[in-house]
Structure 1
Amino acid sequence: MTRIWNEAGFQSDDPWVIETEETKAGNNEKPILPLATFLEKAEAGETNLGVLILPADNVRALAPYLDRIALVAVSFPAFNDGRSFSHASLLRERLGFEGEIRAVGDVLIDPIPLMLRCGISSFAVTNATALKRLEEGKLPGIDNHYQPTARASTDAKSYSWRRVS
């Protein structure tokens, strides 16, 4: 079972469905479209769309259509494939996307704090351990980071090069 989590907790009424050949969005649901399908619909002028970005996709293709996107789902097909961290960072830092970015696929508990730092704002979680830890409010992580991030530092005394300005 997939549950949607963000920093406010688990969401009970999420309307988004990743469309595939077998799965289509029904009534009161919104489709998350593959990149090629999204680009066709966006070019035709449709708005309020969801798009699925796979690790090998070119996230920069979304640049002309950012005002038409309601949700970007970045795919983590395996725990050892981190290309979607880069997609989220590009969307936030270089393209200026302010909407919802959702991690989908193999979402485990340990990388969630790092995903948040890259600008991912919601998570489609199926892993039993991750679900349990999120229900308990237990996120792993460390307090000190050396790299800049899409998310501003809350520590005003930290080094300026560690914060987003």
Structure 2
Amino acid sequence: MTQIWKTTGFVTDDAWVLEAEVIETGETQAGSNERAIHGLTTFIEKAEAGETGLGVLVNPADDVSRLQPYLDHIALVAVAFPAFNDGRAFSHASLLRSRLKFDGEIRAIGDVLIDQVPLMLRCGIDSFAVTNATALKRLGEGRLPGIDEHYQPTARPSGEAGSYSWRRVS
């Protein structure tokens, strides 16, 4: 079972729906209380028709820059991690935050593992659709792994590095 996690904890009332059909065809059939996350092509069609508050799925091979003219139509961007070793969604999230200046919610979906969550957070991802049992347990216990200080800048800056001049703050 998929659970949504944010840095504030697990979310119980999330209305966003991503069905297996979305990943394959770009379409979903959302109910009245649910909000659909559309594939990129369907999203662009709806945005061009003037719809706002939309959810969009960005798959690894998608060109995230195609979203730039429609950023004001987006309520949620779901970046897909089809396998733990496919890191293109890290780049998508970082580009959305740094170059496109997207300030809405970015959600990681797919193979979300506990040891990747800290880097996902640094790349600008806000929420996580988690199915991995180990990740669910550790997140529930508040046991998020990570390193407090970093060398490289990212979309979300780290805390003050202290007295070491060679450590970067952002």
**Which amino acid counterpart does residue 45 of structure 1 have in structure 2?**
G
CA contact (8 A) 2:2 2:130 kept: yes
Partner residue, 2:72: 67
1:156 offset after TM fit, Å?
A: 5.8
1:161 offset after TM fit, Å?
A: 7.6
CA RMSD of aligned residues (A): 1.7
TM-score by length of 1: 0.94
**Which amino acid counterpart does residue 63 of structure 1 have in structure 2?**
Q
**Which ranges of 4 or more aligned residues in structure 1 deviate by more than 4 Å?**
158-161
CA contact (8 A) 1:113 1:141 kept: yes
SS in 2 for 1:145: coil
Partner residue, 1:7: 7
CA contact (8 A) 1:149 1:163 kept: no
CA contact (8 A) 1:75 1:105 kept: yes
**How many residues were matched structurally?**
164
CA distance in 1, matches of 2:94, 2:143: 24
Give the alignment of 1:12-51 within 5 angstroms: 12-19=12-19, 20=21, 23-51=28-56
CA distance in 1, matches of 2:79, 2:120: 11
Q: Which of 134, 147, 167 is the matching residue for 1:129?
A: 134
Provide structure 1 residue ranges, at least 5 long, that are not aligned to the other structure. Answer: none
Partner residue, 2:148: 143
1:125 offset after TM fit, Å?
A: 0.2
**Which amino acid counterpart does residue 71 of structure 2 have in structure 1?**
L
Fraction of identical pairs, as percent: 71
CA distance in 2, matches of 1:57, 1:162: 31
Partner residue, 1:103: 108
SS in 2 for 1:154: coil
Cα 1:124–1:159 shift into 2, 3 Å: farther
**Which amino acid counterpart does residue 6 of structure 2 have in structure 1?**
N
Identify the range of structure 1 (18-27 vs 40-49) with the bigger mean alpha-carbon deviation.
18-27
Partner residue, 2:58: 53
1:102 offset after TM fit, Å?
A: 0.1
TM-score by length of 2: 0.91
Residue 162 in 1 paired to residue 161 in 2? no
Residue 118 in 1 paired to residue 123 in 2? yes
**Which amino acid counterpart does residue 3 of structure 1 have in structure 2?**
Q
CA contact (8 A) 1:148 1:161 kept: no
